[in-house]
Chains A and B, each alone.
Chain A
Amino acid sequence: MAENKKYWRGISELENPELVKGLAEQEFPSNIPAEEFLGNRDNLESTHTSRRDFLKYMGFTTAAATLAACESPVYESLPYVVAPEEIIPGIANYYATSYYDGHDYASILIKTREGRPIKVENNKEAKLNGAANTRVHASVLNLYDATRRQRPVVGGTDSDWSSLDAEVMKGLKAAEAAGKQVVVLTSSVISPSQKALINKFGAGFSNFKHVSLDPFSYSNKLDAWQEATGKRALPLYNFANARTIVSVGADFLGDWVGQSVSGDYATTRIPGPNMSRHLQFESGMSLTGSNADKRYKVKAAEYGAVLVNLYNEIASAKGMTSMSGSPIMKAEAKAAAKELLAAGSKALVVCGGNNKENEHLCIAINKMLGNTEETVSYANRSYLRQGDEKAFNTLVGDMKAGKVGALITHNLNPAYVMSGNSDFKAAFEKVPSSIAVSMKYDETAQLAKHVAAESHYLESWGDFSAADNHYSLQQPTIKPLFDTRQFEECLMKWSGLNGSYIDFIKNNWNAGILGSTDWTKVLHDGVFVKSAAVVEEMTAETEMEAGVSIDLAAAAAKALATAKKAPAMELNFTQMTGMGVGTIANNPWLLEFPDPITRVSWDNYLSISAADAAELGLKNWNESNGALNGSTVNLKVNGNTLENVPVFIQPGQTIGTVALAVGYGRFGAGSIADKVGVNAYSLMGMDHSAEVSIEAVADSEHGFACIQLAHTMMGRDIVKEVNLDTYLNEDAQNGHDGWNEPPIFETHKGPLSGEDVNLWDDFDHETGHFWNMSIDLNLCNGCGACVIACHSENNVPVVGKDEMRKHRDMHWLRIDRYYSSDISEENADENGYEGLGLLGKGTTDMYADMEKPSESPEVFFQPVMCQHCNHAPCETVCPVAATTHSSEGLNHMTYNRCIGTRYCANNCPYKVRRFNWFQYHDNMVGMFGDNYAMNDDLGRMVLNPDVTVRSRGVMEKCSMCIQRTQLGKLEAKKRGKALKDGEVQTACQSACDTGAIAFGDVNDKDSKVFKMKQDKRMYHLLAEVGTQPSVFYQVKVRNTTA
């Protein structure tokens, strides 16, 4: 960006450069006689201004200045000149739109205030992916990322659209003239209009290709489906119908094939005779595995063998021919098969990884079980993953051979996701005209000749069809903030199409999609499902194609061979709940989001089992302030090395396997993301696992930001659990040995429950509302969408890694994770803990060992926010009455009254109070400087104007979204009607698609929360301290018999 322009600092510099130059050299035009004045003692003593006088004057002036400063500043207030009809300042508007970034897809609502998008909400009308995950909830923040590409780049320099268009057209023409290929490289395209546009664009060239590649490839899986059904698409899974679910390595609650199934899954997890049973075979501890009723540890290379055994068991039961089996997990597979057979068509087997044989076996098993259209839908196929590895490899070959004249990339960052492919970079550089359509100056954009600055999804139009008959629309909710254009507009320009993309979509929809449905209605709803008549037609079509058969014997043989030569140490590539594949990596909310399993934020790391860690001499240890540290290792896969990877010891990790998440270790994603983690993609091929050699780095130390030190509940009833049999057949409370006994205290009045042992006067909670919240531990799967939703609703600050290491996290809502321990007080005797332990292991050793999670632990998730105690310990210790109780059962926190003594936090048994150690907003100093969330002018646009931004030195905590309860009440008053259940929802509740969180007025006897309060599973957290919280939990029921 060489510029030869000369700038003047003022008109005088232009008119009299000499004078200005002289002035610049000499800051003080004449010498100040300081020496003369201070050096002369007599002179000094003869002055009339003594030191005292000086202080007097200074004191007076300071006081005067202070008093003068008491005058209020003048605020200007600028109304619209012509007010848009739909905007009433102070009232939120909601728009239905869709999110798709090449990996995550969701139908969502966007809340805007005064024209600014500020929050993502789930679109409850949507039949497919109506639940936003953590990333989608956080995506609104990326709109306000100033490190987004703000204008196009031509040949490495900032430019404008007309020069970019000219350059691109020139490149395309040159490619066409030379007879070379013109290629559009994208992730899976699920937009019908975008697809049509790409085809239209391609029609202008004699040698055009559209290649798609998923950032986390399922190419082999797709090939398997193509071979089995003739259609290269995955089915839609219906978990709502499943009664027995066997997952072999599929992390369907976390990151699997893009279909959001957690809501459907949760409907089967409501305890009762019909509760589903979920068995999980997996290598690393995944979100899905931690929710399973029974989890088995196997290596990823052995998934195939498990599937073969499952197949054999089911086949022999059905009287079909079985194949030769494997000794791996034989007994477990037999038990699993029995349960699958019992469930019949309501059984479901899913498998993970990117492996054709395994998928074939899985298809065959599901066919044998006869669950087609019950739990596996062939009629409605999902198009969320379409990437084609072979086509991509061909493309790389062509690029290398110089056959590609122009390459346009969109929604995909191939230079990053293919960083393990050493050929790719060289091949890319050989393309004479490469254009990256990107929101960031990311890895690919830096390689490309030109960068077309792309608009954010909240600034763009779009349409999607993620599965057969399921459609959704994307509409802009704000004008582009920068000089950007959406991909489709670029394509239209480059293919010489006039008009706007929205008209293109409309024409496309009116021609083939809408039928008699009104466009405006679809735009309002955001989603559209085609009528049943069309669906039937489609079914017939697929059945015709489904005649293709698969060679199962060959698949089984290959699966067994893979299992046999399973590597001694296997590296599995995973995705972190908060990061996914890293498409929106530069997001402080996501980076600070503690992983549900490890509770580590601001990092990716190598998960390893305790046994392997011991063998390799790797450690995790805590500093004196509790901060977690870990050793680091160098990883070697197929000759590629990744250095200084921190190690995290993960209970439940299969021995002989390690796991590393992709999405981190960025270069060009933005100022914050670039400093975090290591790039796992540099080791990853198309498979999701690889053989790895691990070399410990001597004397290495890596600091983690892990916010939970306790791994287990240490024998306490923090999360209560019961198995399904006991739940169904035994009493919850029968004196003392029920499965949900409240604590009983011996008093002079006889034994009393914690509720009745009471020092305080009770509040009147009969009158008006009494807000309560129920959290069903059976339905919560730990996904963390609520944490991000809370973050964005309540202006929760981001504090950065250093502060997180000091446990100064600000999340109002955290999800505690506990592992089960092998040792309990009940089985202490069997394990040889006796007495004081003078001769061997004693009670103290027992308690110490209870803190160690077992090697195959059960996992518990527990969302904990302010419990809104009706006898709140925090309220009684506040010296300034900044935290007080409301007549509606909430514990209020008054920031402007708080003086920051932190007594309340110390006295809180739930540790939910958060202290502002620094000014986290408007603070660009040091470690806070990179954080743009509410920290620069643009980042502050995302703030919720109804919630105060807290300053340094005050305490804050969950308010139960009081701004929402107050609004709900006001709307009811304005209407003059009683408030109905469900009209007020907290942010966490509305983000939770499993329905684990129920919030409402327990004085309303028709409310869900009232029913949940009467449920026999209801218990209060730490009921023995007698705080009488307004939040209560439902006992977790695991579908196990023992």
Chain B
Amino acid sequence: MPAKSQAQEIEGDVANGKSLFNSQCAACHKIDRKVVGPALGDVTQRRETEWLIAWIKNNEELRSSGDADAIAIFEEYNGSIMPAFPALSDQDVMDILAYTIDAAKPKEVVPGDPDGSVGTVEEDDNSIFLYILGAILLFLVILLARVKNTLKSVKGDLTTTMMEDANVFTRTALKNPRVITVLTIVIAVVFFQQVYVNLMAVNVDTGYQPSQPIKFSHELHAGENQIDCNYCHSGARKSKHSNIPSANVCMNCHMYINEGPKYGTEEISKIYAAVGWDADKGQYIEGYEQKPIKWVRIHKLPDLAYFNHAQHVTAGNVECQTCHGPIEEMEEVYQYSPLTMGWCIDCHRETKVQVESNSYYKEMHAKLKEKYGAEAEITVEMIGGLECGKCHY
């Protein structure tokens, strides 16, 4: 059967397919690369649609029916079992397949992309203007000095060099008490401002990027592979701590993936050393003394401040990236936000509370409307989010 025609037949909702793919398939499959399972970008060209639907919904049934292709692919992947998805409708599967086709198409480059070069040029422009301005000023100064000297020589006076002028000016200025006062004040202000700025930066570790025992890449996992943050940091939704995942969570995928794109087996084998996994035999080592992985903590609030992830992630619907920055682009994680109290407070002043959608706030919202007007946006500050005892106890 001609492969191309297969691709044409599939009609589905790409958007729905994308969300289904990300939630159901992305843990083991990628569009362009073989991971746990095969790459799916060209799957519609490789297989018939009916076969795909049968396989995706219940591959075990397909295998037991004696389908040669199914058994072959099962054996190719060392008998690792793909779960059945009986909950997906045929249309859902079609949507997913439509998405795989869509996603496999080469992306058009959009001109004026924020990541493009236009922004950089703009920034350079500013400094170039400044240089030009400076050059003009310098030119003017030299020009005026020349004009003055020319006039002087015309008049018959002694001419002075620019250095001599500068000397005279400085001496006169330094003898003037007003100038000295102003100068002292300026120096003092600058000095104290610098002292203040530097002291305020004590223990503010923005950009802190320690090297970790395992070169774990968020760029790869969260960015490229699109693994949801909460899959590993599952505590963030429920608890005050967004826990560092235990090694057994890593093993959910790394039982099958034992080679990374950058460091090969080197880094992944550190997980195996922690949990005691024999990658060759594909099984856990009996009686192994497990060794916890000593990650270096990056984000640390002092004990006197109470911070709760669940409050922000679940109740407040705040994106992880709001505080942690573009995690999905970080090869190695660094502290993105200053984590100072001022930073917290600024956000609490501006952030809107989801009073409409959460019925916890129902009565409070009615009262707040009376107080601030029906159209007012309710910020965290208005519900007491700036009070000391809300975070310090």
Contact = CB atoms under 8 A, between A and B. Distances in A.
A638 interface: no
B275 A91 contact: no
* Pairs of residues from A and B, 8 with the lowest C-beta to C-beta distance, nearest first: A892-B389, A90-B239, A83-B246, A973-B315, A90-B241, A80-B246, A90-B240, A75-B297
Interface string B266-293: 0000000011000000000000001111
Given A886-B389, A963-B306, 13 more contacts: A74-B210, A76-B296, A77-B244, A81-B291, A88-B234, A88-B239, A91-B235, A894-B388, A897-B388, A947-B393, A970-B308, A974-B238, A977-B360
Interface in A767-790: 767-768
Interface string B303-335: 111101011001100000000000000000000
A936 to B, nearest CB: 19
B292 A80 contact: yes
B304 A896 contact: yes
B239 to A, nearest CB: 3
B134 interface: no
Contacts of A767: 364, 367-368, 371
A913 to B, nearest CB: 15
B91 interface: no
Interface string A76-108: 111111110000111100000000000000000
Contact of A83 (B240, B248, B371, B387): B248
Interface in A453-489: none
Nearest to A961: B393
A1034 B245 CA distance: 51
B47 interface: no
B388 A892 contact: yes
Main DSSP-derived SS at the A contact region: loop
A764 interface: yes
B392 A79 contact: no
Contacts of A72: 203, 205, 208
B345 to A, nearest CB: 14
B202 A768 contact: no
Q: How large is the interface on A (under 10, 10 to 19, 20 to 34, 35 or more residues)?
A: 35 or more
B247 interface: yes
A89 B247 contact: no
Given A91-B238, A886-B387, A895-B304, A79 B244 contact: yes
A978 B359 contact: yes
A112 to B, nearest CB: 14
A979 B360 contact: yes
A933 B210 CA distance: 36
Contacts of B240: 90, 946
B342 to A, nearest CB: 14
Contact of A81 (B248, B303, B367): B248
A888 B364 CA distance: 12
Interface in A940-971: 946-949, 959, 962-963, 966, 969-970
B360 A77 contact: no
12 contacts: A76-B297, A79-B245, A80-B248, A88-B239, A91-B239, A884-B387, A884-B389, A896-B305, A962-B389, A963-B306, A974-B314, A974-B315
Interface string B203-231: 10100101000000000000000000000
Contacts of A83: 246, 248-249
Interface residues of B, number: 57
Nearest to B240: A90
A74 B205 CA distance: 12
Central interface residue in A75, A969, A1003, by most chain B CB within 10 Å: A75
Contacts of B146: none
A542 interface: no
Contacts of B152: none
Contacts of A91: 235, 238-239
A505 B359 CA distance: 47
B373 interface: no
Interface string A334-372: 000000000000000000000000000000000000000
A895 B392 contact: yes
B162 to A, nearest CB: 41
A300 to B, nearest CB: 48
Contacts of B352: none
Contacts of B359: 976-978
A75 B296 contact: yes
B313 to A, nearest CB: 10
A275 B385 CA distance: 46
B275 A82 contact: yes
A635 interface: no
B360 A78 contact: no
B167 interface: no
B243 interface: yes
A959 B306 CA distance: 14
Contacts of B358: 973, 976
Nearest to A884: B388
A377 interface: no
A89 B295 contact: no
Nearest to B251: A82
B384 interface: yes
Given A77-B296, A884-B387, A978 B393 contact: no
Contacts of A128: none
A949 to B, nearest CB: 7
Interface string B340-372: 000000000000000001111011100110010
B155 interface: no
A70 B202 contact: yes
Contact of B297 (A77, A884, A897, A963): A77
B3 interface: no
A766 interface: yes
Contacts of A140: none
A890 B389 contact: yes
Given A79-B295, A946-B306, A764 B239 contact: no
A78 B241 CA distance: 13
Nearest to B387: A886
B300 interface: yes
A89 B235 contact: yes
Given A88-B239, A767-B368, A959-B389, A888 B384 contact: yes
B360 A972 contact: yes
A70 B296 CA distance: 19
Contacts of B392: 892, 894-897, 948
A79 B247 contact: yes
B207 to A, nearest CB: 12
Contacts of B384: 768, 886-888
B203 A70 contact: yes
Interface in A540-574: none
A211 interface: no
Interface string A609-641: 000000000000000000000000000000000
Contacts of A76: 294-297
Contacts of B294: 76-78
B343 to A, nearest CB: 16
Interface in A734-767: 764, 766-767
Contact of A82 (B202, B234, B247, B304): B247
Nearest to A897: B388
B390 interface: yes
A893 interface: yes
A315 to B, nearest CB: 62
A674 to B, nearest CB: 34
B295 A77 contact: yes
Contacts of B249: 83
B180 interface: no
A90 B234 CA distance: 12
B383 interface: yes
A79 B246 contact: yes
Contacts of B360: 969, 972-973, 975-979
Contact of B310 (A82, A764, A974): A974
Contacts of A970: 308, 310-311, 315
Contacts of B239: 88-91
Contact of A768 (B208, B292, B296, B367): B367
